[in-house]
C-alpha cells in the first residue's frame, strides 16, 4: 500500500467518526456557512504574482517543517505580503493540521482560503464551508469521475471555488468538467513523493484555457515560476519554502516583491 492509500483509509474512518458527532444541520447553522465567499480563481486571473501560500506544519515526506508558527500570525503575514490566497492543511494525522486552523485563518485575514484536504465525502465540503473556506481541493487520484462531478457541483452550489488536482494525463482527462474553476498539477508524485516541474510542463498543453492553471509542489524559486509561466500557469502553490523560515509572512512578502520587480 502507498502513503496515499493509507491516508485515504484513515480519512474514511475519521470522516465517519465526525459525521456521527456533528450532523450536517449543525454545520449548516454555523455563521460562516452563510458568509459571502471570495474567489481564488478571480484573484489569480488578476494577479501579477499568482502566489497561493500554504500553512503546513509537516508532511509524510518532511516530518518537521515548522511547529512553531501561530496560524493567526501566518495568515496575517500572508495577507500583508499580498498573496492571492492561502492554503490551510486540515489533515491531522499526516500533516499536523486541523479545522481549527481554518477557523483561525478565517478570523485573521480576508484572503481566499483553500481547505487543503483529502476529500472523499460530500460531508467534508459542507465542513469546509462551515469553517470559512472559499475553495476546496479535489484530488483526481483518489476520486472517480462521478465523485468529482458530484463533489464539484455541490461545491459550486455553495459558492465555493474548486481546485482539481492531477498528476498525469489519465487523471486529467477523466476530470475535465464545467464545475471546476482551477486545474492544479501536482509536481509531487503522491505515491513516491518525488518532485519534478516537468509534470506541470508536460500536462499544460492538455489543460483547456477555460480553467486557471495552477502548479503545485516543488516551487521554491522565482526562476521556477518564470519557467512555468510560458506554459500558461497563473497560480503557484508554495508551502515549505515559506514555512521553513523564521517568518513565513515576511518571506512571502520579499518573494512576491522580487517576483513582481
Q: Which residues form the catalytic set?
A: 54, 56, 116, 165, 186, 216-217
Q: What values do phi and psi take at 11, rounded to 5? A: -65, -40
Contact criterion met (CB below 8 Å) for 7 and 118: yes
To which residue does cell 459571502 refer?
A: 36
Copy the grid coordinates of residue 40: 481564488
List the alpha helices (DSSP H) in the chain.
3-21, 24-28, 40-46, 71-81, 99-108, 122-130, 145-157, 169-175, 198-204, 222-228, 240-243, 248-260
Q: Is 61 exposed, middle or buried, given 0-12, 13-18 or 19+ CB atoms closer than 10 A?
A: middle
How far is Cα 162 from Cα 159, in angstroms, rounded to an integer? Answer: 9
Instruction: Judge whether 197 and 218 are in contact, CB under 8 Å.
Output: yes
Cα separation, 74 vs 56, whole angstroms: 10
Question: Which of 161, 118, 158 lies closest to 27 in space, CA to CA?
Answer: 158
Whether residue 172 contacts residue 207, with contact meaning beta carbons closer than 8 Å, is answered with yes
What is the crossing angle of helices 3-21 and 122-130, to 10°? Answer: 70
Amino acid at each position: 500500500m502507498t502513503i496515499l492509500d493509507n491516508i485515504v483509509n484513515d480519512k474514511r474512518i475519521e470522516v465517519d467518526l465526525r459525521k456521527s458527532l456533528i450532523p450536517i444541520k449543525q454545520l449548516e447553522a454555523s455563521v460562516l456557512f452563510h458568509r459571502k465567499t471570495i474567489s481564488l480563481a478571480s484573484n489569480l486571473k488578476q494577479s501579477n504574482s499568482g502566489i497561493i501560500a500554504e500553512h503546513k506544519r509537516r508532511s509524510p515526506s518532511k516530518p518537521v517543517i515548522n511547529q512553531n508558527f501561530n496560524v493567526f500570525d501566518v495568515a496575517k503575514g500572508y495577507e500583508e505580503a499580498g498573496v492571492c490566497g492561502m492554503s490551510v492543511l486540515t489533515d491531522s494525522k499526516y500533516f499536523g493540521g486541523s479545522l481549527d486552523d481554518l477557523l483561525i485563518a478565517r478570523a485573521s485575514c480576508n484572503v481566499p482560503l483553500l481547505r487543503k484536504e483529502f476529500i472523499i465525502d460530500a460531508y467534508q465540503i459542507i465542513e469546509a464551508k462551515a469553517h470559512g473556506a472559499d475553495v476546496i481541493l479535489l484530488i483526481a487520484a483518489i476520486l472517480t469521475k462521478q465523485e468529482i462531478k458530484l463533489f464539484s457541483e455541490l461545491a459550486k452550489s455553495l459558492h465555493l471555488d474548486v481546485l482539481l488536482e492531477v498528476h498525469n494525463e489519465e487523471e486529467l482527462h477523466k476530470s475535465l468538467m464545467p464545475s471546476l474553476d482551477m486545474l492544479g498539477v501536482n509536481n509531487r508524485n503522491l505515491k513516491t513523493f518525488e518532485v519534478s516541474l516537468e509534470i506541470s510542463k508536460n500536462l499544460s498543453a492538455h489543460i483547456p484555457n477555460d480553467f486557471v492553471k495552477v502548479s503545485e509542489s516543488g516551487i521554491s524559486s522565482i526562476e521556477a515560476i518564470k519557467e512555468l509561466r510560458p506554459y500558461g500557469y497563473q497560480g503557484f502553490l508554495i508551502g515549505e519554502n515559506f514555512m521553513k523560515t523564521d517568518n513565513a509572512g515576511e518571506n512571502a512578502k520579499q518573494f512576491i516583491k522580487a517576483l513582481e520587480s
